[in-house]
Amino acid sequence: MKLNFLSIAIIIALSAQGLFAQTNLDSIAITNNLKQHIKYLASDELQGRETGTIGERKAYEYIIEEFQKIGLEERGDHGFKQSFTFVKGRELGPKNALTIDKISYTVEKDFTPQPFYFDTSVTGTLVNVGYGIAADSLGWNDYTKLTNLKGKIFLMDLFSPDGNNPHGKYSGFADMETKVLTALEKGAAGIIFTIKMAMVPHPKLTSIQNAISN
């Protein structure tokens, strides 16, 4: 999304520069011109402009055409375009498996592997680390009373004390990557994220909680 926003910002800035050079256009015409660019780049036709999609291609072709209209010099690897690599997606291999207290779980039904750092197998004791948040400055640290964590598998709530609120008090500590990095610093061998359900609990999640208490 940052790349998409940058594309819009560039086209707006450069179009505005070209328009201001044409003294016969008033502010209303400039505003209408900018609205036209935004309307197209944010339209459903481009389907979000996700990297590697037809929508992205339509967006950069539109931007290139506008660059050409205002006489910009081509400075990319291929005209105005600059090559880069990215990860389009991941495919789960046949060896993904999870077993807790002799209970086996089904991949993509009971659990979904996350693409964080390691491609490996781990075995260890489960320990409940709550939300996995270490925010002493906010008066919250799930690790304060926990000891001997090295080599254990952390059972961690995916959200925060604010729930799933991206603008909450703990938002700077509650994203998944920050939680993973914090857990690794504490010595985690692995992490299992869970979501607390307000309604009927998942029977296998209950079995995980029982495994910890036992």
User: What would the pLDDT profile of 76-117 be if each residue is shown by its tens digit?
Assistant: 888 999 888 877 767 788 888 888 888 888 888 888 887 765
**Could you report the per-residue pLDDT of 37-65, keeping only the tens digit for each?**
999 999 999 988 888 889 999 999 999 99
Higher pLDDT among residues 140 and 97, named by residue: 140
**Longest C-alpha distance within the chain, in Å?**
79
- CATH code for 98-213? 3.50.30
CB 140 within 8 A of CB 170: yes
Pick from 213, 161, 142, 152: which is nearest to 188 by CA?
Answer: 152
| Model pTM score | 0.55
Q: Taking 50 as the threshold, does the pLDDT of residue 134 lie above it? A: yes
Question: For the chain, where are the alpha helices, taking DSSP H only?
Answer: 2-20, 27-41, 54-69, 171-174, 176-185, 203-213
Q: Residue 183's closest CA among 212, 208, 158, 210?
A: 158
Maximum average pLDDT range among 49-63, 117-131, 196-210 = 49-63
